[in-house]
A and B are shown apart, each in its own frame.
Chain A
């Protein structure tokens, strides 16, 4: 089943002679899988991720999001900013390169925040957040703040925050860019396995082939276009990701 369907995505920065085409009529389908978007700097991979997640509205083209839970497609690109924000809150989990945890909140409250925003009472949201942290191997660290966590731990908290509301899609922008290779590998394993466990699609932007090796499919971008695509054998992808490295 296709969860994300992008057609003709075009994003242009600037105007006139200095205008830059960041995305040039990109078509892409994403199912319940793990997808890596690779490419050199300036190739448009982050812009594509932002369009897929509804963070940026493209100048042309459409993105349709069909959560498996409802089966009803939503044209993300037709929504206003406030509607896209609500959609991200309920359906899309976002993981940033440096986690971007709120440093004044302890880990458990960082994770509980999306649920509270969705109207879940604080006690229930806190309990669900603690459960998610425990699933990601962070039991006992609930009250720690981001400054008291290692880089890998902080990124796991960010993953827990992205997954706690059971999203249909998880988007991650260079999720291991700020980590050493060993820690990055652990974080990726957690990200891929936990995303698969909740039945969500995972879209990872990276320039690192090792990171892409954890995903079932890779698309390569250059100058705002998808120029190539690689599929990995099932035995070397999600679930047995270690062997893909």
Chain B
């Protein structure tokens, strides 16, 4: 079949899929919910990306208006920090949505192979499916962003609220953001398909996931070592306003590096915890959860990575109130704005993490639907399936949130020595954020229960 034929096949399938009464790719218990979830996830990612990009553009425009003001020039840098902080959650969310798109297509892709489609053609069909949902989500996200601009414009920065016109991106900026979301969707979808073999008899994993190697922890050691070496110089620079931009740049570098390292080490930690739990497990639910963590720690990490990063960010920003109150009776406006920006960043990141967790969990349930059904038919209570999934979420959550908290505390420890003790307020923000983020993840995880119940459904799939 040529590309044109592939496109015609896809259009035909898409038309039939959208017809009333059609199922969603044969996903057991899936219905239309996975499509809705994927579109919502893409919409949330697009909204966050446009909001952050609009804010950054506004700060850049303001800085250009007052070229000699050092503080004003710092705002775009701070906005860039926010962009770095949110880049990973936004990427993770987009990627999770793309994986969800692929997860429930397995049966349909296999059937297409059965009737003669090549592996390349089913890949193209899956990519087109992902692109369609990403486009729908991006459009919804852009509309949502437009609707929220008046609300966002109420936030005060630099002593005055934003004008709506400041936050609105030009058309090319919106188009570029939508294109970025589409790119994330296509790359993640292609990555998911690379890990399976779509054969006419079904979709099978190409390989058992290999064990993660300890070498993943090496960058963490390098980063920690570099930070320890720069400890004194960094602490000395804090009180020198002339070096503020340099300090921000250094912190930005460390934040970006820590993010990357945390994503490398996270799955390793999850896998180690899984191994320990396999040995200690006494109940079927714990054993199942532990084995799943060992089997695919990367997937488990993706489910909770978002909230871990939020916790990490909250830990880093917990010193902001300390800077704000400092020893100066008249707080520096930029310090106040950093606090405001931190809260805004946290709010967006927490939202991304919750949606990401919900979507990731939904994709995993759909992937494991045949096993859920077989277990239930074999006499496993649905409650045990829920318990296993809950532990599968809780266990890595506890490890990663704990790990993120410790990492953040290590990173901010130099500043704690030079700040006053009233940084307690910042620690309070940190604790509230960590608990709130974990609660959001659990709520998002619980939202997947109907999918589990449907996957374990007692009605037979055929009438034979």
Contact = CB atoms under 8 A, between A and B. Distances in A.
A104 B377 contact: no
Given A100-B371, A121-B282, A145-B208, A114 B378 contact: yes
A116 interface: yes
A46 B377 contact: no
Contact of A116 (B284, B376, B460): B284
Nearest to B374: A100
Given A85-B376, A109-B287, 15 more contacts: A42-B463, A42-B464, A44-B464, A56-B459, A82-B381, A85-B379, A85-B382, A102-B288, A104-B295, A113-B380, A117-B379, A117-B380, A122-B282, A122-B287, A147-B205
B77 interface: no
Contacts of B379: 85-90, 92, 94, 114, 117
B460 A117 contact: no
Given A44-B463, A104-B292, A89 B283 contact: no
Interface string B108-123: 0000000000000000
A94 B375 CA distance: 10
How large, as a class, is the contact surface on chain A?
35 or more
B463 A13 contact: yes
Contacts of A114: 378-379
A145 B370 CA distance: 17
Nearest to B379: A89
B42 to A, nearest CB: 29
Interface string B433-464: 00000000000000000000000001110111
A147 B208 contact: yes
Contacts of A50: 460
A60 interface: no
Contacts of B296: 104
Given A81-B458, A109-B291, A89 B380 contact: yes
Contact of B464 (A41, A92, A109): A41
Q: Which of A50, A57, A122, A162 has the most CB of B within 10 A?
A: A122
Interface in B202-224: 205, 208
Interface string B360-379: 00000000001101111111
Nearest to B201: A178
Interface string A151-170: 00000000001100000000
Interface in A44-87: 44-47, 50, 53, 55-57, 81-82, 85-87
Contacts of A161: 378
Contacts of A20: 463
A184 B319 CA distance: 67
Contacts of A82: 381
A55 B458 contact: yes
Contacts of B371: 100, 102-103
A41 B379 CA distance: 26
A92 B287 CA distance: 23
A100 B370 contact: yes
A191 interface: no
A102 B378 contact: no
Contacts of A47: 460, 463-464
A89 B205 CA distance: 29
B378 A89 contact: yes
10 A-B pairs with the lowest CB-CB distances in the bound complex, closest first:
A89-B379, A100-B374, A104-B295, A88-B379, A104-B291, A116-B284, A41-B464, A46-B464, A94-B378, A22-B463
B294 interface: yes
Interface string A21-53: 010000000000000000001111111001001
A92 B241 CA distance: 75
Nearest to A92: B379
Contact of A94 (B208, B377, B381, B459): B377
B264 interface: no
Nearest to B463: A22
Contacts of B291: 102, 104-105, 109
26 contacts: A20-B463, A41-B464, A44-B463, A45-B464, A46-B462, A55-B377, A85-B380, A85-B382, A86-B381, A89-B379, A90-B379, A92-B379, A94-B377, A94-B378, A102-B291, A104-B295, A109-B287, A109-B291, A113-B287, A113-B380, A117-B379, A117-B380, A117-B381, A121-B282, A122-B287, A148-B208
A117 B377 contact: no
B384 to A, nearest CB: 7
Nearest to A205: B464
A55 B384 CA distance: 17
Contacts of B281: 122
Contacts of B377: 53, 55, 88, 94, 96
Contacts of B282: 121-122
Nearest to A49: B460
B354 to A, nearest CB: 26
B375 A102 contact: yes
A24 B106 CA distance: 35
A114 B381 CA distance: 11
A114 B379 CA distance: 8
Contacts of B462: 46
A26 to B, nearest CB: 14
A94 B291 CA distance: 23
Contacts of B463: 13, 20, 22, 42, 44, 46-47
A89 B384 CA distance: 13
